[in-house]
Amino acid sequence: MTAESGWSVVAGRLAAARRRPSPQGAVAVVFTAGMFMSIMDSQIVNVAVASLGRDFSAAPAQVQWVITGYLLSIAASIPLSGWLGDRLGTTRVYLASLAAFGGSSALCAAAQSLPELIGARVLQGLGAGFMMPVAMAMLYRAYPPARRVHIARMITRVTVLAPATAPVIGGALIAGLSWHWIFLINVPVAGAALVFGFLFLPRTPPADPQPFDLPGFVLAAGGLTALLYCVSTGPTAGWATPVTIAAGVSGALALAGFARHSLRHPMPVLRVRLLGDRLFRKCCLMIGCSTTAFFGSLVFTALYVQEGRGGSALTSGLTTFPEAVAIGLSSQVVARLYPRAGPRRLIAAGFLGLVVVNVALSAAGASTSLWLVRGLMFAIGLAVSYVMLPVQAAAYARISSVDTGHATAIFTAGQRSAGAMGVALLSAVLAAGSGDRVRAPVSAFHAVYLAGAGVALVGLLLALTIRDADAASTMGEDPEREAGGGLAGAE
């Protein structure tokens, strides 16, 4: 080999190294793609219910299973994700779940009957249920605690932007093309993320193999599924029906049994003992409160515009969209404040904002300017970012790397369950205010917003009990001021 050719090889390798993303950047890219798709798909189908009912000649209660089946399969798979990630390696599990999500999205788009679509949605939910907690575990293991505020910024943007933009994107796809495209659009995104992940994700070796805790899995998956079935069907089927009551009671008993089993089992499928850490426990409770308040404002403001004021689906989507804009703008500010202010004051300020804005929304009437409502939704977006980003950053401050997979599964299960249960609770409040009317009057939404303010007030009280010292490891120097790429470059 000549000197010239040798230098060419070295130069080529250096150029390739510059083009290759860092392991942290690769994890950030695939996380963003996967999480955005999975969270959006839990909301985007809501705008397609009418189209699905017409195409399949099905009643709304039957079409609702397209949404419910997805949520139930997520609930069933999340408890297994921590054990499976440790057993097989998080990268392998993530890529497999991403492939399953993309493939089942294609099956959803190709469905020729409602049962076929429901079955494909169940498969899609299984992929999403594994994908979400495993992706979060990969992120939190890839970055040291001092840089987790920037992980939290990305997670907050994804978990809030996806549902906030779902009505607009879904409405545009259905109006311009057909309902098939709300699923078909996932296929190229999942395919690109899969190829990228296969090429660039760091290979994580499996942890020491542990025996599978079958009784714990049955109790956890069965309890979560039954409880989510109860809160998903209760608003439509009725809370007093025998099936709803049986699902709620059996779900609560199963989860209580699982908690007892997990604390006694040496190697449980989910390590409930992690909730003994006061910061992690409070963060799980606070993310439940903020998720309820956020989804409540998102879902019921859309209903307020459509049912209370007779607006179109597009108008309602554009009315709630300012929440997403606000979070995109404010998350950068919150990330820079976090190392100086700490989680306690930021989270408390965010919950206080949620209380004030929900009380203000409770005064909105039939003739209130929609631009005022949009301004209040923008304010809710600002407040939510002050809660979710610090909670995500602080939650795992005292959780070891070994326990991260189980912790993210517990956190994700709590967040998803809180979203469904919160919307169900507020739906019950709306139904009580609507009486026998077919469409909810504007006055019925006043109580909904006040209930949301009450949930945010609980979150505020929890925030005031946080100790910033517990999250000290996450309050390091701003990594964007340091040399190198990492997450900042990936964003």
Q: What is the amino acid identity at position 286?
A: M
**Is pLDDT of 8 > 60?**
no
**Is pLDDT of 193 > 70?**
yes
Q: Give the pair of three-digit tokens for residue 214.
A: 């079958």
Fold of 275-475: Growth Hormone; Chain: A; (1.20.1250)
* Cα 109 from Cα 117, distance rounded (Å): 8
Average per-residue pLDDT in the chain?
77
Contact residues for 226 (Cβ-Cβ < 8 A; gap 6+): 247, 248, 250, 251, 254
The pLDDT value recorded for residue 13 is 44
For residue 276, give Cα distances in angstroms to 205, 263, 271, 423, 460: 28, 10, 10, 28, 21
* Tens digit of each residue's pLDDT (9 = 90 or more) over 358-395: 999 888 877 788 888 889 989 988 898 888 888 888 88
**Is pLDDT of 486 > 60?**
no
Angle, helices 148-176 vs 313-320, to 10°: value is 160
Confidence band of 6 (pLDDT split at 50, 70, 90): very low
* Tens digit of each residue's pLDDT (9 = 90 or more) over 79-113: 777 777 777 777 888 888 888 888 988 998 888 88
User: What is the Cα 6 distance to its own chain's centre?
Assistant: 50
* Tens digit of each residue's pLDDT (9 = 90 or more) over 17-62: 445 667 667 777 777 777 777 777 777 776 676 677 777 777 666 6
Three-state SS at 277: coil
Q: What is the amino acid identity at position 220?
A: A
The pLDDT value recorded for residue 207 is 63
DSSP 38-83: HHHHHHHGGGGHHHHHHHHT--HHHHHHHHHHHHHHHHHHHHHHHH
Q: 317 with 365: CB under 8 angstroms?
A: no
**Is pLDDT of 357 > 60?**
yes
**Range of lowest pLDDT (60-74, 165-179, 371-385, 475-489):** 475-489
DSSP 95-142: HHHHHHHHHHHHHHHH--SHHHHHHHHHHHHHHHHHHHHHHHHHHHHH
The pLDDT value recorded for residue 465 is 92
77 or 51, which is more confident? 77
User: What is the Cα 120 distance to its own chain's centre?
Assistant: 21
**Is pLDDT of 477 > 80?**
no
**Is pLDDT of 295 > 90?**
no
* Tens digit of each residue's pLDDT (9 = 90 or more) over 428-451: 777 776 666 656 677 778 888 888
* Tens digit of each residue's pLDDT (9 = 90 or more) over 129-152: 888 778 777 777 777 666 666 667
The pLDDT value recorded for residue 203 is 72
The pLDDT value recorded for residue 457 is 93
The pLDDT value recorded for residue 350 is 92
Three-state SS at 362: coil
352 or 10, which is more confident? 352
Confidence band of 464 (pLDDT split at 50, 70, 90): very high
The pLDDT value recorded for residue 459 is 92
**Range of lowest pLDDT (8-12, 144-148, 169-173):** 8-12
The pLDDT value recorded for residue 10 is 40
The pLDDT value recorded for residue 316 is 73
Q: What percent of the chain clears pLDDT 90, i.e. is strictly above it?
A: 6
* Cα 422 from Cα 349, distance rounded (Å): 21
- Name the most confidently modeled range: 137-141, 165-169, 217-221, 438-442: 217-221
Residue 485 DSSP one-character state: -
Of the candidates 320, 330, 427, which has an alpha carbon nearest to the alpha carbon of residue 388?
A: 330
Q: Give the pair of three-digit tokens for residue 252.
A: 């609560």
**Range of lowest pLDDT (5-9, 187-191, 423-427):** 5-9
Confidence band of 354 (pLDDT split at 50, 70, 90): very high
Q: 243 with 237: CB under 8 angstroms?
A: yes
The pLDDT value recorded for residue 292 is 83
**Range of lowest pLDDT (61-65, 73-77, 206-210, 450-454):** 206-210
User: Which superfamily, per CATH, for 22-202?
Assistant: MFS general substrate transporter like domains (1.20.1250.20)
The pLDDT value recorded for residue 234 is 72
- Name the most confidently modeled range: 42-46, 188-192, 417-421: 188-192
The pLDDT value recorded for residue 337 is 86
Q: What is the amino acid identity at position 131?
A: M
Confidence band of 202 (pLDDT split at 50, 70, 90): confident
